[in-house]
Amino acid sequence: MSTIVVYLEQKGNELKRSSLEAITAALGVTGSTVIGLLVGGDAPSVQLAGEYGLKECAVANHDLLQAYSSTAVSATIAEFAKSVGATSVFFGATAAGKEISPRVSVKLNAGFVPDCVALEANSGSIVASRPVYAGKAKINMAVTTTVGVYSLRPNVFTARKVDNPTAVSVREFTPTLSAHDCRMKVTNVLRNEGKLDVSEADIIVSGGRGMKGAENFHLVESLGKVLGAAVGASRAVVDAGWRPHGEQVGQTGKTVSPNLYIACGISGAVQHLAGMSSSKVIVAINKDKDAPIFKVADYGIVGDVFDVLPKLTAKLTH
Protein backbone atom coordinates (compact mmCIF):
# COMPACT_ATOMS: atom_id res chain seq x y z
CA MET A 1 0.00 0.00 0.00
CA SER A 2 1.50 3.30 -0.96
CA THR A 3 0.68 6.78 0.23
CA ILE A 4 1.12 9.75 -2.05
CA VAL A 5 1.24 13.25 -0.65
CA VAL A 6 0.36 15.93 -3.20
CA TYR A 7 1.62 19.40 -2.38
CA LEU A 8 -1.23 21.80 -3.15
CA GLU A 9 -0.23 25.20 -4.36
CA GLN A 10 -2.49 28.20 -4.46
CA LYS A 11 -2.70 31.26 -6.58
CA GLY A 12 -4.58 33.88 -4.66
CA ASN A 13 -7.19 31.83 -2.82
CA GLU A 14 -7.55 29.16 -5.47
CA LEU A 15 -5.77 25.91 -6.07
CA LYS A 16 -3.44 26.01 -9.04
CA ARG A 17 -4.39 23.81 -11.94
CA SER A 18 -0.97 22.13 -11.73
CA SER A 19 -2.01 20.86 -8.27
CA LEU A 20 -5.25 19.43 -9.65
CA GLU A 21 -3.22 17.75 -12.39
CA ALA A 22 -0.98 16.22 -9.74
CA ILE A 23 -4.05 14.90 -7.90
CA THR A 24 -5.31 13.16 -11.05
CA ALA A 25 -1.84 11.75 -11.70
CA ALA A 26 -1.57 10.48 -8.12
CA LEU A 27 -5.01 8.85 -8.28
CA GLY A 28 -3.79 7.08 -11.40
CA VAL A 29 -1.22 5.21 -9.33
CA THR A 30 -3.50 2.34 -8.42
CA GLY A 31 -3.67 1.06 -4.89
CA SER A 32 -2.47 4.28 -3.28
CA THR A 33 -3.96 6.60 -0.73
CA VAL A 34 -3.71 10.19 -1.91
CA ILE A 35 -3.47 12.99 0.64
CA GLY A 36 -3.33 16.66 -0.27
CA LEU A 37 -1.26 19.10 1.73
CA LEU A 38 -1.86 22.81 1.74
CA VAL A 39 0.73 24.87 3.56
CA GLY A 40 -0.40 28.05 5.23
CA GLY A 41 -3.19 28.47 2.71
CA ASP A 42 -6.89 28.99 2.58
CA ALA A 43 -8.67 25.79 3.58
CA PRO A 44 -11.99 26.41 1.74
CA SER A 45 -10.19 26.21 -1.59
CA VAL A 46 -9.39 22.53 -1.08
CA GLN A 47 -13.05 21.60 -1.56
CA LEU A 48 -12.49 22.12 -5.27
CA ALA A 49 -9.99 19.27 -5.13
CA GLY A 50 -12.87 17.01 -4.09
CA GLU A 51 -14.33 17.36 -7.57
CA TYR A 52 -11.08 15.87 -8.83
CA GLY A 53 -11.31 12.90 -6.50
CA LEU A 54 -9.28 14.04 -3.51
CA LYS A 55 -10.77 12.64 -0.32
CA GLU A 56 -8.26 13.63 2.31
CA CYS A 57 -6.36 16.82 2.87
CA ALA A 58 -4.27 18.43 5.58
CA VAL A 59 -3.82 22.14 6.06
CA ALA A 60 -0.58 23.10 7.75
CA ASN A 61 -0.64 26.22 9.86
CA HIS A 62 1.94 27.87 12.02
CA ASP A 63 2.81 31.42 13.01
CA LEU A 64 6.08 31.03 11.15
CA LEU A 65 4.20 30.28 7.92
CA GLN A 66 2.65 33.76 7.67
CA ALA A 67 5.18 34.92 5.10
CA TYR A 68 6.13 32.45 2.36
CA SER A 69 9.48 30.87 3.07
CA SER A 70 10.63 28.06 0.79
CA THR A 71 12.79 26.57 3.54
CA ALA A 72 9.91 26.56 6.02
CA VAL A 73 7.49 25.13 3.46
CA SER A 74 10.01 22.39 2.59
CA ALA A 75 10.44 21.52 6.25
CA THR A 76 6.66 21.37 6.70
CA ILE A 77 6.12 19.10 3.70
CA ALA A 78 8.90 16.74 4.75
CA GLU A 79 7.60 16.53 8.30
CA PHE A 80 4.08 15.85 7.11
CA ALA A 81 5.22 13.24 4.58
CA LYS A 82 7.06 11.42 7.35
CA SER A 83 4.09 11.62 9.70
CA VAL A 84 1.82 9.83 7.22
CA GLY A 85 4.48 7.41 6.02
CA ALA A 86 4.39 8.78 2.48
CA THR A 87 6.01 6.68 -0.24
CA SER A 88 5.79 9.47 -2.81
CA VAL A 89 5.46 13.23 -2.80
CA PHE A 90 4.11 14.95 -5.91
CA PHE A 91 4.68 18.57 -6.89
CA GLY A 92 3.72 20.63 -9.91
CA ALA A 93 6.97 21.73 -11.58
CA THR A 94 6.05 25.38 -11.07
CA ALA A 95 8.50 28.08 -9.97
CA ALA A 96 7.74 27.21 -6.34
CA GLY A 97 7.56 23.46 -6.92
CA LYS A 98 10.93 23.45 -8.67
CA GLU A 99 12.51 25.28 -5.76
CA ILE A 100 11.12 23.21 -2.90
CA SER A 101 10.88 19.69 -4.29
CA PRO A 102 14.68 19.06 -4.35
CA ARG A 103 14.94 20.21 -0.73
CA VAL A 104 12.13 17.92 0.32
CA SER A 105 13.83 15.01 -1.46
CA VAL A 106 17.04 15.58 0.49
CA LYS A 107 15.13 15.81 3.77
CA LEU A 108 13.33 12.54 3.04
CA ASN A 109 16.41 10.67 1.70
CA ALA A 110 14.27 10.25 -1.37
CA GLY A 111 15.17 9.78 -5.01
CA PHE A 112 14.15 12.81 -7.04
CA VAL A 113 12.64 12.86 -10.52
CA PRO A 114 12.02 16.36 -11.83
CA ASP A 115 9.79 17.57 -14.65
CA CYS A 116 7.94 14.29 -15.33
CA VAL A 117 5.77 14.13 -18.43
CA ALA A 118 4.42 10.63 -17.88
CA LEU A 119 4.06 8.29 -14.93
CA GLU A 120 3.33 4.62 -15.04
CA ALA A 121 2.70 2.51 -11.98
CA ASN A 122 4.25 -0.93 -12.37
CA SER A 123 3.65 -3.46 -9.60
CA GLY A 124 3.70 -0.84 -6.90
CA SER A 125 6.58 1.25 -8.17
CA ILE A 126 6.44 4.31 -10.37
CA VAL A 127 8.25 4.58 -13.67
CA ALA A 128 8.56 8.20 -14.71
CA SER A 129 9.45 9.71 -18.07
CA ARG A 130 11.17 13.03 -18.31
CA PRO A 131 12.58 15.04 -21.19
CA VAL A 132 16.34 15.62 -21.21
CA TYR A 133 18.69 17.46 -23.59
CA ALA A 134 16.11 20.14 -24.23
CA GLY A 135 13.47 17.59 -25.16
CA LYS A 136 15.68 15.94 -27.76
CA ALA A 137 15.44 12.71 -25.76
CA LYS A 138 13.35 11.22 -22.99
CA ILE A 139 14.47 8.94 -20.19
CA ASN A 140 12.39 6.40 -18.31
CA MET A 141 13.47 6.09 -14.74
CA ALA A 142 12.54 5.12 -11.21
CA VAL A 143 13.79 5.86 -7.73
CA THR A 144 15.78 3.18 -5.93
CA THR A 145 14.81 4.55 -2.51
CA THR A 146 11.77 3.80 -0.34
CA VAL A 147 10.43 7.29 -0.88
CA GLY A 148 10.29 9.15 -4.19
CA VAL A 149 9.80 12.85 -4.92
CA TYR A 150 8.42 13.82 -8.31
CA SER A 151 7.66 17.14 -9.96
CA LEU A 152 5.18 17.13 -12.84
CA ARG A 153 5.48 19.45 -15.80
CA PRO A 154 2.41 21.70 -15.77
CA ASN A 155 -0.32 21.19 -18.36
CA VAL A 156 0.99 17.82 -19.54
CA PHE A 157 -1.11 15.72 -17.19
CA THR A 158 -4.85 16.30 -17.49
CA ALA A 159 -6.79 17.31 -14.39
CA ARG A 160 -9.91 15.11 -14.51
CA LYS A 161 -13.10 15.59 -12.52
CA VAL A 162 -14.52 12.41 -11.03
CA ASP A 163 -18.11 11.18 -11.40
CA ASN A 164 -19.11 10.91 -7.76
CA PRO A 165 -17.13 13.50 -5.84
CA THR A 166 -17.30 13.51 -2.07
CA ALA A 167 -16.49 16.32 0.31
CA VAL A 168 -12.81 16.48 1.19
CA SER A 169 -12.12 15.62 4.78
CA VAL A 170 -9.81 18.34 6.03
CA ARG A 171 -7.63 18.19 9.09
CA GLU A 172 -5.08 20.49 10.58
CA PHE A 173 -1.39 19.83 10.74
CA THR A 174 0.92 21.83 12.97
CA PRO A 175 4.56 21.49 11.95
CA THR A 176 7.35 21.94 14.49
CA LEU A 177 9.09 24.89 12.89
CA SER A 178 11.84 27.03 14.33
CA ALA A 179 13.12 30.43 13.29
CA HIS A 180 16.00 28.57 11.67
CA ASP A 181 13.58 27.06 9.14
CA CYS A 182 12.48 30.55 8.14
CA ARG A 183 15.82 32.18 7.44
CA MET A 184 14.49 33.31 4.12
CA LYS A 185 11.17 34.80 3.25
CA VAL A 186 9.33 36.42 0.41
CA THR A 187 8.83 40.08 1.23
CA ASN A 188 7.09 41.17 -1.93
CA VAL A 189 5.73 39.89 -5.23
CA LEU A 190 6.07 42.12 -8.28
CA ARG A 191 3.37 41.12 -10.79
CA ASN A 192 3.49 42.01 -14.44
CA GLU A 193 0.11 43.69 -14.14
CA GLY A 194 -2.54 43.08 -16.74
CA LYS A 195 -0.39 40.73 -18.75
CA LEU A 196 -1.02 37.03 -19.02
CA ASP A 197 2.23 35.12 -18.55
CA VAL A 198 3.24 32.44 -21.06
CA SER A 199 3.82 29.94 -18.26
CA GLU A 200 0.19 30.23 -17.16
CA ALA A 201 -1.64 30.61 -20.46
CA ASP A 202 -3.85 28.05 -22.22
CA ILE A 203 -3.07 29.63 -25.55
CA ILE A 204 0.14 31.35 -26.63
CA VAL A 205 0.78 33.34 -29.78
CA SER A 206 4.51 33.76 -30.28
CA GLY A 207 6.41 35.94 -32.68
CA GLY A 208 9.89 35.44 -34.10
CA ARG A 209 12.35 37.33 -36.25
CA GLY A 210 9.92 36.95 -39.14
CA MET A 211 7.88 39.73 -37.49
CA LYS A 212 10.67 42.05 -38.66
CA GLY A 213 10.45 44.58 -35.83
CA ALA A 214 8.94 45.53 -32.47
CA GLU A 215 6.49 47.82 -34.25
CA ASN A 216 4.81 44.84 -35.94
CA PHE A 217 4.04 42.89 -32.80
CA HIS A 218 0.59 44.47 -32.63
CA LEU A 219 -0.32 41.79 -35.20
CA VAL A 220 0.68 39.08 -32.75
CA GLU A 221 -1.02 40.92 -29.88
CA SER A 222 -4.27 41.32 -31.82
CA LEU A 223 -4.44 37.62 -32.59
CA GLY A 224 -3.59 36.93 -28.96
CA LYS A 225 -6.38 39.20 -27.84
CA VAL A 226 -9.17 37.47 -29.76
CA LEU A 227 -7.95 34.12 -28.45
CA GLY A 228 -7.38 35.27 -24.86
CA ALA A 229 -3.77 34.25 -25.35
CA ALA A 230 -0.45 35.30 -23.88
CA VAL A 231 2.21 36.71 -26.17
CA GLY A 232 5.46 34.78 -26.47
CA ALA A 233 8.69 35.39 -28.32
CA SER A 234 11.76 33.66 -29.69
CA ARG A 235 15.16 34.49 -28.33
CA ALA A 236 16.14 36.28 -31.52
CA VAL A 237 13.33 38.73 -30.83
CA VAL A 238 14.20 39.17 -27.16
CA ASP A 239 17.90 39.63 -27.92
CA ALA A 240 16.97 42.28 -30.47
CA GLY A 241 15.10 44.09 -27.70
CA TRP A 242 11.73 43.83 -29.47
CA ARG A 243 10.12 41.98 -26.57
CA PRO A 244 10.86 41.55 -22.84
CA HIS A 245 12.80 38.52 -21.61
CA GLY A 246 9.79 37.32 -19.61
CA GLU A 247 8.12 36.39 -22.90
CA GLN A 248 10.95 34.22 -24.19
CA VAL A 249 10.00 30.62 -24.85
CA GLY A 250 12.73 28.00 -25.12
CA GLN A 251 15.70 26.45 -23.49
CA THR A 252 16.93 29.70 -21.98
CA GLY A 253 13.44 31.10 -21.59
CA LYS A 254 10.29 29.47 -20.31
CA THR A 255 9.03 25.95 -20.80
CA VAL A 256 5.39 26.00 -21.78
CA SER A 257 2.80 23.40 -22.69
CA PRO A 258 -0.37 25.30 -23.58
CA ASN A 259 -3.34 23.72 -25.34
CA LEU A 260 -2.53 25.80 -28.39
CA TYR A 261 0.77 27.35 -29.45
CA ILE A 262 0.86 29.52 -32.54
CA ALA A 263 4.35 30.28 -33.85
CA CYS A 264 4.49 33.27 -36.18
CA GLY A 265 7.69 33.83 -38.15
CA ILE A 266 9.65 31.46 -35.94
CA SER A 267 12.05 29.06 -37.66
CA GLY A 268 11.86 26.33 -35.03
CA ALA A 269 15.45 26.11 -33.76
CA VAL A 270 16.02 23.22 -31.34
CA GLN A 271 16.41 25.65 -28.45
CA HIS A 272 13.00 27.13 -29.22
CA LEU A 273 11.39 23.70 -29.60
CA ALA A 274 12.82 22.77 -26.19
CA GLY A 275 10.44 25.21 -24.58
CA MET A 276 7.25 24.46 -26.48
CA SER A 277 7.31 21.01 -28.07
CA SER A 278 5.09 19.53 -25.37
CA SER A 279 2.27 21.94 -26.33
CA LYS A 280 -0.96 20.06 -27.09
CA VAL A 281 -1.55 21.61 -30.50
CA ILE A 282 1.03 23.57 -32.48
CA VAL A 283 0.28 25.89 -35.37
CA ALA A 284 3.07 27.38 -37.44
CA ILE A 285 2.87 30.34 -39.77
CA ASN A 286 6.02 30.76 -41.81
CA LYS A 287 6.78 31.78 -45.36
CA ASP A 288 9.46 29.13 -45.75
CA LYS A 289 7.81 25.77 -46.34
CA ASP A 290 11.02 24.02 -45.25
CA ALA A 291 11.24 25.79 -41.88
CA PRO A 292 11.89 23.17 -39.15
CA ILE A 293 8.90 24.45 -37.15
CA PHE A 294 6.60 22.66 -39.62
CA LYS A 295 8.07 19.32 -38.54
CA VAL A 296 6.54 19.71 -35.08
CA ALA A 297 3.39 21.49 -36.20
CA ASP A 298 -0.09 19.98 -36.21
CA TYR A 299 -1.25 22.66 -38.59
CA GLY A 300 0.74 24.99 -40.72
CA ILE A 301 0.19 27.93 -42.98
CA VAL A 302 2.90 28.57 -45.52
CA GLY A 303 2.59 32.28 -45.95
CA ASP A 304 3.59 35.78 -45.00
CA VAL A 305 2.73 36.74 -41.42
CA PHE A 306 1.89 40.27 -42.53
CA ASP A 307 -0.79 38.89 -44.78
CA VAL A 308 -1.95 35.85 -42.77
CA LEU A 309 -2.15 37.27 -39.24
CA PRO A 310 -4.69 40.06 -39.95
CA LYS A 311 -6.86 37.64 -41.90
CA LEU A 312 -6.72 34.98 -39.23
CA THR A 313 -7.52 37.52 -36.54
CA ALA A 314 -10.46 38.83 -38.54
CA LYS A 315 -11.88 35.34 -39.09
CA LEU A 316 -11.59 34.51 -35.43
CA THR A 317 -13.28 37.75 -34.41
CA HIS A 318 -16.45 36.80 -36.28
Ligand X SMILES: Cc1cc2nc3c(=O)[nH]c(=O)nc-3n(C[C@H](O)[C@H](O)[C@H](O)COP(=O)(O)OP(=O)(O)OC[C@H]3O[C@@H](n4cnc5c(N)ncnc54)[C@H](O)[C@@H]3O)c2cc1C
Which residues between 233 and 292 bind other proteins (CB under 8 A)?
245-246, 251-252, 259-260, 270-271, 277, 280-283, 289
**Could you tell me the smallest distance in angstroms from the CB atom of residue 118 to other proteins?**
11
b/e sequence 118-155, b meaning 16+ C-beta within 10 Å: ebeeeeeebebebbeebbeeeeeeebeeebbbbbbbbb
Q: Which of residues 150-189 bind other proteins (CB under 8 A)?
A: 183-189
CB atoms within 10 A of CB 244: 12
Residues 232-251 that bind ligand X (CB under 6 A): 234-237, 248, 250-251
288 binding ligand X? (CB under 6 A): yes
Q: Cβ(199)–Cβ(248) under 8 Å?
A: no
Q: Residue 170 in 3-state DSSP?
A: strand
Of 80-119, which residues contact other proteins (CB under 8 A)? Answer: 93-96, 98-103, 105-107, 109-115
Please enumerate in sequence order all residues whose Cβ is within 8 A of that of 188, keeping only pairs 6 or more positions apart, or say none.
Answer: none
Please report, for residues 22, 37, 118, 200, the alpha-carbon distance to residue 6 in angstroms, rounded to integers and kept in the order given. Answer: 7, 6, 16, 20
Which does residue 301 bind out of ligand X, other proteins, none, counting CB within 5 to 8 angstroms by kind?
Answer: other proteins
**Interface pick for other proteins out of 43, 47, 71, 162 (rule CB under 8 A):** 71
By CB under 8 A, is residue 191 in contact with other proteins?
yes
In whole angstroms, how close is the CB of 108 to ligand X at the nearest point? Answer: 33
Q: Does position 309 bind ligand X by CB under 6 A? A: no
How many Cβ atoms from other residues are within 10 Å of residue 182's Cβ?
21
**Which positions lie near ligand X, rule CB under 6 A?**
208-210, 234-237, 248, 250-253, 265-267, 269, 271-272, 275, 286-288, 291, 304-306
